[in-house]
Structure 1
Amino acid sequence: MRDVDLKQFEFKGREHEAITGLDTLDKADQEQLLMAGVVSDESNRSASYLQMDHSAVHCRSHNDAVEIMDIKDALKKYDGLKDYFWTLVDKDKDDYTRSAAENLHGGYFIRVKAGAKVEQPIQSCLMLKSEQVGQNVHNIVIIEEGAEAHIITGCSVAHGTQGGAHLGISEFFVEKNASLTFTMVHNWSDNVAVRPRSAGIVKEGGKFLSNYVLLKPVRDLQMYPSIRMVGEDSVARFNSVIVAPEDSYLDMGNRVIMEAPNTRCEIIARTISTGGTIINRGHIGAHAVPAKGHLECQGLILGNGRIHAIPELDGSLEGVELSHEASVGKIAQEEIEYLMARGLDEDEATSTIVRGFLNTDIMGLPDVLTKAIDKQIEELQASGAM
């Protein structure tokens, strides 16, 4: 693991005025948000939140079943959120958690009320607007009993911003028979350091489905969200699509601990290095029966680059069923020749295979987000990065 010198970044004095809506941002920044899955037209969103550097500039719910606010306001309203705030992540884990604990800038609090079936996505964006700014955020998500919701979180730099640091704490609480689909799209730039620290619990009959997309350059990213399945018949699923261009260093993965019977989990990661380094970690622990888990790490190296796939299975009882597949390599020549025999040249064949490898259909994303991701893939191919 690599350390980031936080002294390089400015953690004070980067507040911004509130805005009435995301459509009031300049067009360049609206495009940056779109590339992170966040739309400026809020008519098809249940709620929206935007954090810009050190302040929340926009927060609005369009659905009575969705409560959304800046975490500082939630701490005041709910007497410190004692049952949630810093209960799953250790504030003394490392320098990054301590920075977030000692100098909190903001973050979102999202609560979906019991029994609500929220059809339109909830969206949030954590943006670095100023150059070399350091951002400390803490997010709390509570999906109450029987509720269902899809949250799209985009993390992004503003148009033209090159360097900064994002330190993000996220704690997820999926209550009995509740369901959360959480989609995160990172749209950073070449000189940004990113340190998310995330954890969650899933109770009886609950579902936690996570989608993660990173197709843009980032200097240094380290993340390893951990989910505990504490309720019987709970489900957790992680899907990741990741590209590491030259000079990107990504140390990332997912961890699921199954602590109750009749639990199921799946971790699937598809990674491509076009010159960068990817350390792809995966851990499934099963400590109750019956329990079934599958871990899959697939990596392609295009040109130079390095991918470390580190799958780990930990079963402590007779009767658990855990499996994993891991592969790192290049595109098979026979696949290219197969497509060339059907009229494609070598570059077209390679692009077709890569697009299929990065297919996000399994994620069940909204059309506008799928189109944004397709656009990013097209830009990568046009630039020659793939």
Structure 2
Amino acid sequence: MKDVNLSEFSFSGAESTAIEDLRTLDNADKERLLMAGVDVDETNRAGSFLHLNHSGVHCSVTQPGVELLGIKAALKKYDGLPQHFWQLVDPDKDEFTRSARENLHGGYFIRTEKGAKITAPVQSCLFLKGQRVGQNVHNIVIVEDDSELHLITGCAVSSPEEAAAHLGISEFYIGRNAKLTFTMIHNWGEEVVVRPRTSGRILAGGEFQNNYVLMKPVGNLQSSPVIDLDGEGARARLNSVIVAPKGSYVNSGGVLNLNAPNTRGEIIARTMTTGGTIIAPGCISAKAVPARGHLECKGLILGNGRIHAIPELDGHLEGVELSHEAAVGKIAQEEIEYLQARGLDEDEATSTIVRGFLNVDMEGLPVALKRAIDEQINHLDASDVM
């Protein structure tokens, strides 16, 4: 992993004022947020949250059954959130967690009421604007028993030329028979350092689907969410679609711990390098029976670049069922020739194959968000993939 020097970034002095209406953002910022899945019109949204640099600047809720606060307000309201704050992530894990603990700028707190079905997604955005700004955020999501939530988080910088550092702690608590669909879309830049530290706990009958999309350049990113399936019948699926152009370094994976009977977990990754480096570790550990897990990592190298897939299965008891499939390679020439025979030129054929490779079905996504992801894939032209 590349070294990161946090002293190169400023973690103080970048406070921002409140933004009552996201539509008042300038057009350039709106475009950056749109490509991170954020709808500034807030149509078909149960709530919206925007954190800019060192301040929470927008928080609104439009649907009953869900509570949305800045993390500092939630800590004050709930006496420090002793059952949830820093309970799944070790604050002394590394220098990034220590920075977030010692100098918290903000983040979001989301809680659904028991039994609430939040039909429209809640959207949040962690936004950086300015040179060499460092950002520490801590997010907590609590999906109470028998409730359902879609959460879209967009992370972005205001300009792809900006250098910045984003350190994000996220803790997910999914109750009995509850369901959380969490989609994160990154729109960073070539000089951005990203260090999320994420953990989750799923109780009996709960379900967690994590969708991670990165198709823009990033300087240095390392992410490996750890999800504990602690209740019988819990399910989790980690989907990721990652593109690394020249200059990008991405270390992105995940860990699923199947700790209870009848749990099921999947890690599905589609990675493509057009000159950058992708490290793709994935681990499924089963400590109860019956338990089933499948890990799949497929990588595509176009031109130069590196993809290092590291699938890991860890079975502790007789009767667990764990499998993996990993493949790294290039576009088959016969596939290109097949499409050329049907009227496409070589560039068009290559782009078509790439779009099909990256277009992973992410079950449960809102239509508008699926459209935004498809738009990013469709914007990959021949210059991106050749």
Q: Is the 8 A contact 1:130 1:161 kept in 2?
A: no
Provide the C-alpha distance between the structure 2 equivalents of 1:203 and 1:239, rounded to a whole number of angstroms. 20
Show the counterpart of 1:210. 210
Q: Do structure 1's residue 370 and structure 2's residue 370 form an aligned pair?
A: yes
Does 334-343 or 8-17 show the bigger shift? 334-343
Would you say the 8 A contact 1:162–1:189 is kept in 2? yes
Q: Work out the CA distance in 2 between the residues paired with 1:253 and 1:179.
A: 22
2:284 aligns with 284
Whole-Å separation in 1 of the counterparts to 2:3 and 2:110: 31
Deviates more, 1:31-40 or 1:19-28: 19-28
Alpha-carbon distance in 1 for matches of 2:383, 2:86: 42
* Deviation >6 Å, runs of 4+: none
Give 1:130 deviation, angstroms.
1.7
Partner of 1:252: 252
Once residues 18 and 275 of structure 1 are traced to their aligned partners in structure 2, the CA distance between those partners, rounded to angstroms, is 40
Q: Partners in 1 of 2:382 and 2:363 — Cα distance?
A: 25
Distance 2:256 2:375 in 1: 32
Q: In structure 2, the residue corresponding to 1:298 is in which secondary structure?
A: strand
Query: What letter is aligned with 1:285?
Result: S
2 CA distance for matches of 1:289 and 1:377?
Answer: 39
Matched, 1:67 2:67: yes
- 1:137-156 deviations in Å (ceiling 9; x for gaps): 00000000000010000000
How far off is 1:319 after superposition? 0.3
Using the alignment, how far apart are the partners of 2:360 and 2:37 within structure 1? Answer: 13
Structure 2: how far apart are the matches of 1:240 and 1:358?
Answer: 9
Matched, 1:51 2:41: no
- Residue 382 of structure 1, CA deviation: 5.5
1:130 equivalent to 2:130? Answer yes
Equivalent residue, structure 2, for 1:8: 8
| d(CA) in 2 for partners of 1:372, 1:64 | 26
Task: Output one character per residue of 1:286-330: Cα deviation in whole Å (capped at 9) or x when no partner.
Answer: 000000000000000000000000000000100000000000010
User: For residues 93-114 of structure 1, what are the alpha-carbon distances to aligned partners after superposition, in whole Å with 9 as ceiling and x for unaligned?
Assistant: 0000000000000000000111
**Cα drift, residue 360 of structure 1:** 3.7
In the comparison of the two structures, how many residue pairs are matched?
Answer: 386
1:61-107 CA-to-partner distances (Å, cap 9, x unmatched) read 11121100110000000000000000000000000000000000000
1-structure distance, mates of 2:37, 2:222: 21
Comparing 169-178 with 327-336, which one deviates more in the overlay? 327-336
Contact 2:242 2:271 in 1 (8 A): yes
Name the counterpart of 1:269.
Answer: 269
- C-alpha contact (below 8 Å) 1:47/1:68 kept by paired residues: yes
Contact kept, 8 Å, 1:234 with 1:263, in 2: the verdict is yes
RMSD: 1.1
Tell me how far apart the structure 2 counterparts of residues 363 and 305 of structure 1 sit (CA, whole Å).
30
Contact 1:136–1:167, Cα closer than 8 Å, also in 2? yes
Shift of 1:370: 2.7
Q: More deviation in 194-203 or 371-380?
A: 371-380
Answer yes or no: is 1:166 the counterpart of 2:166: yes
CA distance in 2, matches of 1:99, 1:265: 32
Aligned to 2:197: 197
Change (3 A) 1:33 1:382: farther
- In structure 2, what residue type is equivalent to 1:237? R
Identity %: 65
Residue aligned with 1:134, SS: strand
Q: 1:160 to 1:214 in 2, by over 3 A?
A: closer
Give the corresponding residue for 1:77: 77
* Separation of aligned partners in 2, 1:64 and 1:364: 21
- Whole-Å separation in 2 of the counterparts to 1:285 and 1:291: 10
Amino acid at match of 1:306: R
Please give the alpha-carbon distance, in whole angstroms, between the structure 1 residues aligned to 2:384 and 2:306. 18
| 1:214-229 alignment runs, 5 A limit | 214-229=214-229
Is 1:242 the counterpart of 2:242? The answer is: yes
Tell me the residue number matched to 2:106. Answer: 106
Residue aligned with 2:170, SS: strand
* Residues 11 and 196 (structure 1), Cα distance of their counterparts in 2 relative to 1, 3 Å cut: same
Q: 1:2, CA displacement in angstroms?
A: 2.4
Deviation at 1:381, TM superposition (A): 1.3
Question: Contact 1:211–1:363 at 8 Å: present in 2 too?
Answer: no
SS at match of 1:42: coil
Distance 1:44 1:358 in 2: 26
Measured after TM superposition, the shift of residue 363 of structure 1 is: 4.0
Q: Is the 8 A contact 1:282 1:312 kept in 2?
A: yes
What amino acid is aligned across from residue 371 of structure 2 in structure 1? Answer: K
Shift of 1:160: 6.0
The 8 Å contact of residues 248 and 277 in structure 1, kept in 2 or not, is answered as yes
What secondary structure, in the 3-state scheme, does the structure 1 residue paired with 2:7 have?
helix
Gaps of at least 5 residues in structure 1 are none
Question: Secondary structure in 2 aligned to 1:384?
Answer: helix
Confirm or deny: 8 A CA contact 1:245 1:385 kept in the other structure: no
**Pairing of 1:78-93 with structure 2 (within 5 A):** 78-93=78-93
Question: Contact 1:293/1:323 (CA < 8 Å) preserved in 2?
Answer: yes
Contact 1:143 1:179 in 2 (8 A): yes
- Distance in 2 between the 1:227 and 1:384 partners? 34
Structure 1 residues 294-313: aligned runs within 5 Å: 294-313=294-313
Shift of 1:116: 0.4
